[in-house]
Amino acid sequence: MPQLFPRYASTLASLVLVSIVAVPAGILGLLTLLQFTSHSTRQNLVVEQPIQFSHEHHVSGLGLDCRYCHTSVEHSHFASVPPTHTCMTCHSQLWTNAEILAPVRQSLAEKKPIPWRRVNMLADYVYFDHSVHVTNGIGCSTCHGRVDRMPQVRQAMALTMGWCLDCHRDPTRHLRPESEIYNMDWIPPPDQAQRGRELIRHYMIRTEHLTDCTRCHR
């Protein structure tokens, strides 16, 4: 009986059958991994701003406190972006003719806010309250990283749901006393586990509901 198919037909058929399973699985795997890359999370991506503002210079070099510019961070769900007159408090006296500050002077003269671009992005369906965190022992650098070392500020953490839940499941690892909230040099001491439990009681944090869906999705 004559051979109807070439000898490689069986191999080709096997490859096709494997591909039917492997290709979709590979695509699904790539899509799953994509959500954890900087392309999706924006982690460590530098955002170009209308003015070259250096947090490193202002925080580390000049010693400005976070609250000098972000005035609402202890009282509101958002950390306010400073208005132009805050910048001009110093720059009406210092570097008054610097070219790099021309947009600041123009903003003041025209009474138009500087169009700063948001760096740390959360999805619209996520509710986050800055005041709740900073008044309950979470320091700025825990979420924003060492801003005092950033010539151009970037999103230091992934800010994924898993990253947030990791802290909410065990906040003791990150809790600080009030005096250290704005200290960029703070690192957890060797006995942080014990101190964290004491701070849980100090701030009267109810840990049993920290992972409820309604904490972040309202």
* Residue 53, domain member (yes or no): no
Going by C-alpha positions, the residue among 117, 129, 31 that lies closest to residue 78 is 129
pLDDT at 42: 84
User: Does residue 176 fall inside a structural domain?
Assistant: yes
pLDDT for 212 equals 96
156 found inside a domain: yes
10: domain range?
A: 1-34
Q: What is the pTM of this model?
A: 0.81
In a domain, 206, yes or no: yes
Round the CA-based radius of gyration of the chain to a whole number and report it.
25
Per-residue pLDDT reduced to its tens digit, 86-129? 999 999 999 999 999 999 999 999 999 999 999 998 989 999 99
> Helix, strand, or coil here: 91?
helix
Structural domains in the chain (count): 2
Question: Is residue 100 domain-resident?
Answer: no
Any domain includes 199: yes
* 89: in domain: no
At 175-210, the pLDDT tens digits run: 999 999 999 999 999 999 999 999 999 999 999 999
Question: Would residue 55 count as lying in a domain?
Answer: no
The predicted structure's pLDDT at residue 45: 87
